[in-house]
Structure 1
Amino acid sequence: MGKLYLKGLFFAITVGFLGFVSAYYLTIKVSDRLINQEYIKLEHAAKQISIRFQDAIDISVNDLEALQAFYSAKQQDSTQDEFNQYMAVLDIEQRHYIQALSWVPLVYDDKRDEFETFLVSQQSDFRIKARDENGALGASKRKPYYTPVTYISPYHKNKAAQGFDLSSSPTRHASLHTARDSGEMTATSKIRLVQETGESYGFLIIAPVYQKGPYPKNPQARARLLLGYVTGVFRIDTLMENAREQADDIGLELTLHDIEKSGNSLLYGQAQDVVAFSFDIGIPDRHWQLNLSLNKALKETIESPSIANWILAGGSLISLLLALSFYALQLSIIRSRHISLLSQQLQIQNHELENTVADRTKALSTQNGILNQHVERLESQKITLSRLMHESEFAKRKAEKLANDLARSNQDLDEFAYVASHDLKAPLRGISQLSNWMVEDVEEGNFEEIPKILGMITGRVKRLETLLNDLLAYSRVNRHEPNLALLDCTELIKALFPLYSPVSGFKLTIEGDLPTFYTLKAPLEQVLRNLLNNAFKHHDKSEGKIIISCDEDDSFYTFMVKDDGPGISSDHYEQIFKMFKTLKSRDEVEGSGMGLALIKKIVEHYHGRIYVESTLTKGSAFYFTWPKTILDVSD
C-alpha cells in the first residue's frame, strides 16, 4: 500500500515538474520576444536620430555650397553689407546648429596693408590675428600669405574670430591645403574654436573659391587660381544638442567618433564598452560614426520585463495545483482499488463459510448451539461487508467528483490561456500603439492630437479593467455563500431596476407573482442583475418596456426577462453565451462580452439552463430555470 502511495506521489511530482518546465520555457520565449520587439523599436528610433543628425549636416553643407557659389560669382568685390544681406537670405540665425559661416580670402603679404586698410573702413578694429606661443590672440607676424576670417555671421557671437589667420593653425592649415588642392569641401578634425571660451570643441567645413574661368584640373592650377575659402564653423555640443535630447527621452547615450587613418578620435560623449546601434555619418572628406548605447535604467527595463515574471509565477502556481489535484486523484483511485480487493476477499470468505456451515449442518445436526454461533458470525460479516461496500461506493463517487473538478480546472486553464493570448493582449496592444503615436507626435511637435490619444488610452485602460473584473467574477462562480436565505424575488427586482435603468423612460412590468423561497441569494441576484443590465445596454431607443415573469414545475422556477429592444438574429443564439462574444463592437457598446457567459455558467452550475427567444426589431426574451431547493450548499 505504501508503495502505491509513493508511486502516486512520484507521478504527481512528475506532472508538476513538467508543468513548471513548460511555464519556464514559455517565460523565456515571451521574454525573448519582448526584448527583441523593444530592440527593434529602439533601432528604429536610433535610426531616426541618425537621419535627423545627418540632415542637419547636409543642410549646413548646402548652405556652404550656396555661399561658395555666391563668392565664385562675386569674386572679391563683395562688401560687408552684401555678405550680411546674403546671410539674411539664408536666415543663418535660425540654424542654431551652425556656429558661423564666413568668407576667408587668400591675402598675399604685399597686399596685407592695403587689405587691412580696406577692412578697417568697414570694421574699425579689424586686423589680421594669430595666436602667439602662449595661445593669446595678437597681430599676425609677417609671412608670405594669410587666410584671415574677413566676414562672419552671426557677428555678435563670433566677433572674436574675425581677422583670425586660419593658416596660422597647423590643423586648419592642413585642411586649407587639402581643400585647395582637391577642389572639394574638407572638414577639419576636432579643434578648439577661436570664439570658444569654454571647454567645448568644434570643427570647420572648408570649401575653396577659385577665379572665374575654366575650372582648374590639377593642384598646381588650383593653387594659382585660388581666391579664398568659405567656411562653416560648428560647435560639436550644439550640433549634437537635438540628437542628445531625443536620445535622452528614449534612454540612449550618444557618442560621436571621427574614424581617422591614424586611429579613432572621440568627438562627443564618453566611450562605451557596449554599443547597441552604430551609424555612419557622411561629412566632407571624413568618416564619422554615431554610436548609441542603452543607459542602465533602459537596459534593465528591456532585459527584465515584468510580464515574464508574472507568467512564470502564474505557470508555477498552476503547475502546483495541477500536481496536487493529480495526487489527490491517484490517492482516490488507490483507495478505491483497495476497497474493491477487500470486498472480493470478503465474498470469497463468505462463500467458504456458507459451504462450511452447510457441511457441518448435515454432519452435526445435533450441534445447534455451535451452528447458531456461526450464523451470528456470518451476520456480523455481512454487516461488515455492507459497510465496506458502502464506503467503496462513497469513495467511487468522491473519485468521480475529483475527476470532474480536474476536468473543469483544465477547462478553466484553457480559457485563461485563451484570454492571456488574445483578449487581455488586445487592449494592451492598443495602448502600446497609441503610445507610439503619441511619442511620434511629440517628436514631430504635433501636440493637437495628444488629448485625443490620451482619451483613447484611458478608454482602453477602462476596457481592460472591466474585462479583468468580469474574469474575476467568472472565476468565482463556484464560490458562493454557505447559507441559504429567504429571498423575495419581487422586492429584489424592484430594487435592481432603478440601479440599471439609464433613463426614466423605461417601464418595469411584473406579470403574475414572483416566488419567495429559500435559496442562494448572491448567484440568483447576479443572473437577474446581468440580464437587466443587458436589456438596458443593448436597447436601441430612449424609452422602452421590461417585462419579468415566472412559472414553476415540480423542481424548478422558470424566470423570463423580456425587452422591446432591437432583437437578436437566430444565427447568434448560441454565440451570445460564449466568452468575449458581442454582437456590436466595443466602441459602439462598451462591455467585455462576459455578461451572458457568466449567467450561463452560474445557471448551469446549479443544474439549470438558459435560452433566448427573439424576433428582430421586436425585442428579446431570456428564459432561465432555477432549482426550487438547493440541497448541497457546498456543491
Structure 2
Amino acid sequence: MDDFDPDFSRRELIKSSKVASIHWVVILASFILTFSAWYFSNKTIQERHQIRFERYSEQIASQVTERMDLYKNALQGGVAFIETLPVKVTPEIWRTYNQRLNIVHSFPGIHGLGVIYHVDEKDEIDFINSVKIQRPSFKIFPAHNESELWPITFIEPIETNEKAIGLDMAFESNRYLAIRKARDLAEPQITGPIELVQYSKKSPGFLFYLPFYDNSMPQNTIEQKRASIIGVVYAPFIMEHLMKGTLSSEHRLVNVRIYDEDTVIYDGNSNSRFETSAESSSLKRTSVIQMFGRNWRFEFEPTKEFIGSVSYIESRLILFGGIFIDFLIIFIIFSVTYANKRALKHADRVTKMLQQETRELERINKDLEQFNYVASHDLKSPLNAIKQLVTWISEDCSTILPNDSKKHLKLLKQRTRRMESLLDDLLEYSRLSNLSATYQPINLKILIADISFLLDVPEAFSITVDDKNIWVSPEAIEIVLRNLISNSIKHHHIGAGKIDIKCEFDEHLTTIKIIDDGPGIEPQYHNQVRKMFQTLKPRDEVEGSGMGLAIASRVMENLGGSLNIESDGIDGTKVIISWPYKK
C-alpha cells in the first residue's frame, strides 16, 4: 500500500474548498454537452425510427417466406405419401390422410390439399371412367385446345373444394404455365394470380404445385421428366386468408402491399384499422422476393399506430434534464466547496481524537501483554508449590493415608497439571497476534518429527506424513500442528492409534489433512469444539484445557486460511487446514 501523507491530503482538501477556474470550465462544458445531446438525440430517434420500421418489414417478409416453406413441406408430405403407397391413391385414402394430417388446422391459410394427374388426350376417356368408379359425377372441364389434360382428381376438405373437382389446369395460362414449369424443373412452383373456382368472392389467389414421377423411369432431362410425370400434389390459396394466417392482426405497426409482377395480390391498407399515416412517405420500403418461380414485390408503409408510437419526448427530456443537471452541477460545486471547508475542520477534530484513542489502545495492549505474562508466571509459582506439596504428602504418608485420601490427592495432582496446562495455553493464545508473518520453506516431515519429539508421542501411536516442502510461517504452523496432533493422541479412545498427515497443493491454496482413527466428533459438536475451554468428555477423564482447536483456528485465521472438521462421530476425525499460497 502506498504511504499515506496526511499533510498532502490536508493541502488537497484546502485547495478543493475554493471555486477554481476549472469549475467554471466544467459548467460551460456541461451546457454545451446538453444542447449537443439534445440535437443528436433528435437525429438518433429518426434513425432508430427507420431501423425499427425496416426490422418490422423484414419480419413480415420473413414470416411470409417461412409460411410458404411450411406449405412446401405439406406438399412434400403428400408426394411422399403417394410414392410410398403400395396401391394407387383413392378418394377414401386421400381423405383419411388429410384427416390425420388435419391439413386446415395444421397449416393455417391453406384452402386444401389435392392431387392433379397428368392425362394424355388419347387417354381421357379411360381416365374419366376409372375415376367414376368411385366418384360417378366426375368430369373434366372446361374444354380447351391443348393436347394434354391436368384435371383436379382429389382434394380435401371436399366440403369447401367440391367445385374444383375435375377442373383442368390446361384451360388457363397461369395455371398451365406453372404446372408445366413444375414438371420440367421437378421443383415446387406457384401460379400467377388467379381466382379459385371454389371460392365465391373475387379475391386474388394462387396454386402451389409439387410434381411426382414414375420412379422406375429416368428423370435426368426435360424429355425424360415429361415422359415419367404422373401428376402433382397441389394446394389452393386465397391470398387474403394466407396473410391472415401468417401475420398477427393485433397492433400491426407496418402495412404491406404484395404484387405479383404488376398485379396486386394483397393490400394491407384495405383493413381500415391499419390505415397508412400521411407522415409515412419517408419510410416506404420495397423488397422483391423470388417465391417458387414468381417474383413477389413487397411494399411496406408504417401505420398510424407506428407513427404514433414514436415521439420526441425523449429528446425534450434530455434537453430539460440536461439543463436541470447543469444547475445541479453548479449547486454541487458550491456545496462541495462549502462542505470541504466544514470537512477540514471536522477532520482536524477527528484526527486529534484518533491520535488520543490510538495512544490509549497501545497502552491497553501493553497492559494486557504485561498482565498475561505476570498471570502466567505469578500463578505458576504457587501452582508448582501446591503440586510439590501434594507430591511430598503422597510420598510421606503413603502408608497411613486411607484410600479415599489417596484418590483425593491423585485428583488434586491431575487438576493441578490441568491448571498448569491451561495457563500455558492462555499465554500462547494471548501471543497469537504477535506471531511472525514471515513465510519460509519448511519440510513437513522434519517439522512433524520435531513436534513428535516435543510431545513425546507414545510408541503405541504411529504417525505417517507426506515428505513435502510447504511455504508458511514456521512458528504459526508449528503451533497448529502441535495442538492438532496432541488432540488426536489425548482424545483417542483406546490409547493406541494411527495418524496420517497429507499435504496437497493447488494454484491458490496449500492444504494439510490430519486424519486419525479415534472415536471421532459428532457433527453437531463441530462448532462447539472450536471454542475456548470446550471438551466433549469430563475434565477428569481427559488431560487438556479445551484450548487446542481454539488456538489452531485462531492461528489459521491470522494466516488468512481456514480450519474445518470432517467426522461422523464413529470412524475417526479429519481436520483440514488450508491457507493461501504465498512466496
TM range (shorter): 0.3 to 0.5
TM-score (norm 1): 0.42
TM-score (norm 2): 0.45
The higher radius of gyration belongs to 2
